[in-house]
Structure 1
Amino acid sequence: MTDRALTDSSDSTGSTRSIDSARPIDVRAITTDEIPEWIRALNTGFLRPPTASEQEIADRRTYIDPDRTLAAFDAGRCVGTFRSFPQELTAVGGALVPADAISNVTVTPTHRRRGILGRMMARDLAAAKERGDVVATLIAAEYPIYGRYGFGPATSTAEWIVDVPRTGLDPRWSGPADGGRVDLVDGEDVRKIGPELHERLRRGRPGAVSRDERWWRINTGVPEVTSGSWTEPYYAVYRSASGEVEGMVSYESDDKWDDKRPHNTADVNWLIAVTPAAERALWHYLCSIDWITRVKTGWRAPDDLLPHLLPDPRAARVTTQADWLWVRILDVVRALEARTYAGTGTLVLEVTDRDGLSAGRYRLEAGPDGASCAPTTLDAELTLGVGELGRLWLGDESAVRLAALGLVREERAGAGSVADALLRTSRRPWCPDIF
């Protein structure tokens, strides 16, 4: 997650206020020798015990790139942290676009409102633009911070708690009726078959991001990358009638009884499926486990099939519904040309960007056979900030809705409806990951 970017100062226009300080703040990339001090500041900002363990230091050394790991120093003490890394983000239609993934953002409480976050962000985004990244991405711990840097919430997430006895599912269920099967596997199996399954998922789901080998090692308990508090979960795999792996779930359970009756919860860490049959089978499996009376779904797509896979959808109660992946467009032309469009039309966009990275007027001509986008001098039909473009790009937001909120301006009547017809998608984008 884009950890605790404790509020840096900006006024309502987004300009940074400078507060007098006796010492200048040095913002730069760290050296490998400064990793322990950087971790101390990171832990402080994230309200964790500040002392870095030897294991944490050793683990960080294996994967962080010092050139993309920024810090703010005050008289040699690290008071701000920021890290980015390469990522691929799936656009509408399945194209994988290069992204600058941002994480580990903190400003120490004693140094808020000195422009530290703004300086770190400006340096990173300029480098990302220079590299040729199409977008920047992050998971925002706090909502109000990142809009002023041109990010917009582009996907949402939801969590449910399922009251199993109320679902109406057959308690005698012993397996899928479609000829497929559900099997328990171990972490080693997951590391072998999980990456290919996830590749299939992310290429068909706008908003999904790449996972590296380290993700699979962390989430299957490989000792050198997990903490001492690791608890081995259960893993279940759905195979179709032909034997193809189409879904996988990781979950844990508690052990709670009252008056000799079980009240146990299956807590899903993650569930991925590339077919509705796999999704149905894995949720049914979780709801059929003896002694399990509740299932906590973990982070799911906001239009997940789950509630309506149940005979009584009210058995699934929403516990979280919130923004998730935030997107910052760095290259308007490449971003709009990378995705596909179900309809046909043209639209002239005036994109404002106070940082100047993506500002301009662009003509989009799109259709099922492809799209072209180029700077233009034609009159604008829709004016919007780069953050609002990020909200629209993956197809989850409505330009008409943003216009009603005063966040987008129609320069030509009906331009918002044209934008919605071009940009919105039949299924909502979803990012299954946190980073």
Structure 2
Amino acid sequence: MSKDAPAGAGRHTEGRPTAPDAVEVRAVTEDELPLWDRAVARGFLRPHLAEGTEYRRLTFEPGRFLGAFDPYDPSRCVATFRSFDTGLTVPGGALLPVDAITAVTVNSTHRRRGLLRRMMGQDLAAAKERGSAAAILIAAEHPIYGRYGFGPATRNQSWTVDLGRGRLREDLPASGGRTDFVTMAEARKHGAELHERWRRRQPGAIGRSDTWWKLHTGEVTLPGFDWKEPFLALHRDAEGTVTGLIAYTVDDVWEGNLPNCTLTVQDFLALDREAAVALWRLAFSVDWVRTVAIGNLAPDDPLPLLLTDPRAAVPGRDSSDFLWLRLLDLPAAFTARSYRAPGRLVLEVADPDGFAAGRWALETAADGTGRCTPTGEAADLALDASALAALYLGTESAVRLHTAGLLTELTGGAAERADLLLRTAVQAWNPDGF
């Protein structure tokens, strides 16, 4: 997750001028993690309840935790930035090596001094050198990251289901397997194995590290991370293979002597329709529950159509863009993914930071493969790196961006041809913040 304010020139809030370059941006040491952890809490406007050093040590990689230190108080970290390597599933199932950026903060006392730009520039250059084809982040604020070449690459969909209006359709097939509640230790083992199989099928998904599973099952804690043990169930098919997972909590709300509880789904993974139906059947049949709330589901998930009344599923306010992407190596990124139709398109890409800048020929074949190479030919579309990132996983429409004035057609019908090549049958989705 990232939070910041626009970068630029500024002054110390106590009136003492600090030249922007005087603030030191550098990698923090493991011994400095308590300072860095406190700065993260301050930057996200959260009370620092206790040190999260134990958790931070589990994720620490030398050179990947950046901090900014003001010369007037070198013991205080005033900006933070962290990145780590992971794989992003692209259309076709390949894992693209990406630089995942998180914990981006700048203290309100040090805004508008270019600290984010310095940290971002340092990290992206290092990521490209390491061989990352792209960078990803979760943007807390929409206006900030487009200027660094990021574009919204996945969307999520939240739902609130009124069980008084709609239940699962009775004609849906019963599972030939079984659903059982499990312990958190079992969830760490079987859930991790399930997720590895699931994410290969879902464009936009990223990996879940061992530390992720430890944090989300309570083996380790991070002060301020509001965790309580959920109900967690696994679905197994007739052969005993784990094919689905659901984690949820239930509040305890009664009005008089009548229950009015909400079941909140925290995690939902299903490899097939049978597993999905079985897990929804469990969630929709819990005693005392009148409402089921799902905070992050795939935008094309068929859940409403599984109900007797699809209108019982009301879109939630949390439906929004989620994962943002920044392309660093166009030939590697566009070769990694698959395509639904053969074609050829020349793109003129504007990128002040240079990673994606230039004129590129995107060529796709009937077998779904493609390549992106530099060219001197006349361009069909002109766009910036942010718009190209939004198109890369197939989430955004080139026609829509053209209508909004966010890309330019240089050849008639080029936006429609771009959509034919880049749009996908399964929409990109990432259920995980980081």
CA gap of 1:170–1:300, structure 2 versus 1, over 3 A, is closer
Within-5 A mapping of 1:8-407:
8-9=6-7, 17-19=8-10, 21-23=17-19, 24-50=22-48, 52-53=50-51, 56-75=52-71, 76=74, 77-169=76-168, 177-223=174-220, 230-319=227-316, 320-369=318-367, 370-407=369-406
Note the alpha carbon deviations across 1:233-271, whole angstroms, 9 max, x for none.
Answer: 111111222322111001111111112111111111111
Distance 2:224 2:351 in 1: 42
Distance 1:51 1:71 in 2: 21
Does the 8 Å CA contact 1:340/1:368 hold for their aligned counterparts? Answer: no
Tell me how far 1:226 sits from its aligned partner: 7.6
Distance 2:176 2:418 in 1: 43
Note the alpha carbon deviations across 1:162-192, whole angstroms, 9 max, x for none.
Answer: 1112114479x9x972322211111111112
Distance 1:276 1:148 in 2: 41
Distance 1:337 1:229 in 2: 41
> After the TM superposition, which of the residue ranges 358-367 and 176-185 deviates more from structure 2?
176-185
CA gap of 1:183–1:130, structure 2 versus 1, over 3 A, is same
Note the alpha carbon deviations across 1:98-145, whole angstroms, 9 max, x for none.
Answer: 000000000000111111111110110011111110010000111111
Distance 2:251 2:221 in 1: 26
Distance 2:225 2:28 in 1: 28
Does the 8 Å CA contact 1:140/1:326 hold for their aligned counterparts? Answer: yes
Residue 422 of structure 1 aligns to which amino acid in structure 2? L
Residue 9 of structure 2 aligns to which amino acid in structure 1? S
Tell me how far 1:46 sits from its aligned partner: 0.8
Residue 307 of structure 2 aligns to which amino acid in structure 1? L
Does the 8 Å CA contact 2:80/2:105 hold for their aligned counterparts? Answer: yes
Tell me how far 1:50 sits from its aligned partner: 3.7
Partner SS state of residue 158, structure 1: strand
Distance 2:29 2:241 in 1: 46
Does the 8 Å CA contact 1:176/1:281 hold for their aligned counterparts? Answer: no
Residue 67 of structure 2 aligns to which amino acid in structure 1? A
Does the 8 Å CA contact 1:139/1:434 hold for their aligned counterparts? Answer: yes
Residue 371 of structure 2 aligns to which amino acid in structure 1? S
Partner SS state of residue 66, structure 1: coil
Distance 1:431 1:93 in 2: 16
Does the 8 Å CA contact 1:218/1:226 hold for their aligned counterparts? Answer: no
> After the TM superposition, which of the residue ranges 44-53 and 267-276 deviates more from structure 2?
44-53
Tell me how far 1:291 sits from its aligned partner: 1.0
Does the 8 Å CA contact 1:91/1:338 hold for their aligned counterparts? Answer: yes
Q: Which runs of 5+ in 1 are unaligned?
A: 10-16
CA gap of 1:82–1:345, structure 2 versus 1, over 3 A, is same
Note the alpha carbon deviations across 1:342-393, whole angstroms, 9 max, x for none.
Answer: 1010111111101112211111110242112211111111111111111001
Distance 2:212 2:239 in 1: 29
Distance 1:284 1:304 in 2: 16
Residue 356 of structure 2 aligns to which amino acid in structure 1? S
> After the TM superposition, which of the residue ranges 56-65 and 143-152 deviates more from structure 2?
56-65
Does the 8 Å CA contact 2:359/2:375 hold for their aligned counterparts? Answer: yes
Does the 8 Å CA contact 1:8/1:118 hold for their aligned counterparts? Answer: no
Q: Percent identity?
A: 49
Distance 2:155 2:86 in 1: 19
* Residue in 2 that maps onto 1:12: none
Residue 263 of structure 1 aligns to which amino acid in structure 2? N
Does the 8 Å CA contact 1:349/1:361 hold for their aligned counterparts? Answer: yes
* Residue in 1 that maps onto 2:14: none
Does the 8 Å CA contact 2:85/2:97 hold for their aligned counterparts? Answer: yes
Does the 8 Å CA contact 1:29/1:71 hold for their aligned counterparts? Answer: yes
Note the alpha carbon deviations across 1:269-288, whole angstroms, 9 max, x for none.
Answer: 11111112211221121001
Distance 2:366 2:247 in 1: 37
> After the TM superposition, which of the residue ranges 42-51 and 332-341 deviates more from structure 2?
42-51
CA gap of 1:107–1:229, structure 2 versus 1, over 3 A, is closer
Tell me how far 1:32 sits from its aligned partner: 1.8
CA gap of 1:274–1:368, structure 2 versus 1, over 3 A, is farther
Partner SS state of residue 160, structure 1: strand
> After the TM superposition, which of the residue ranges 359-368 and 423-432 deviates more from structure 2?
359-368
Partner SS state of residue 377, structure 2: coil
> After the TM superposition, which of the residue ranges 40-49 and 322-331 deviates more from structure 2?
40-49
Tell me how far 1:225 sits from its aligned partner: 6.2
Does the 8 Å CA contact 2:259/2:289 hold for their aligned counterparts? Answer: yes
Does the 8 Å CA contact 1:153/1:324 hold for their aligned counterparts? Answer: yes
Partner SS state of residue 198, structure 1: helix
Partner SS state of residue 295, structure 2: coil
Does the 8 Å CA contact 1:125/1:136 hold for their aligned counterparts? Answer: yes
Note the alpha carbon deviations across 1:319-347, whole angstroms, 9 max, x for none.
Answer: 12201000000001111111000101011
Partner SS state of residue 161, structure 1: strand
Partner SS state of residue 58, structure 1: helix
> After the TM superposition, which of the residue ranges 323-332 and 254-263 deviates more from structure 2?
254-263
CA gap of 1:431–1:169, structure 2 versus 1, over 3 A, is closer
Tell me how far 1:227 sits from its aligned partner: 7.3
Does the 8 Å CA contact 1:403/1:410 hold for their aligned counterparts? Answer: yes
How many residue pairs match? The answer is 422
* Residue in 2 that maps onto 1:13: none
Residue 355 of structure 1 aligns to which amino acid in structure 2? D
Tell me how far 1:49 sits from its aligned partner: 1.9
* Residue in 2 that maps onto 1:424: 423
Tell me how far 1:40 sits from its aligned partner: 1.5
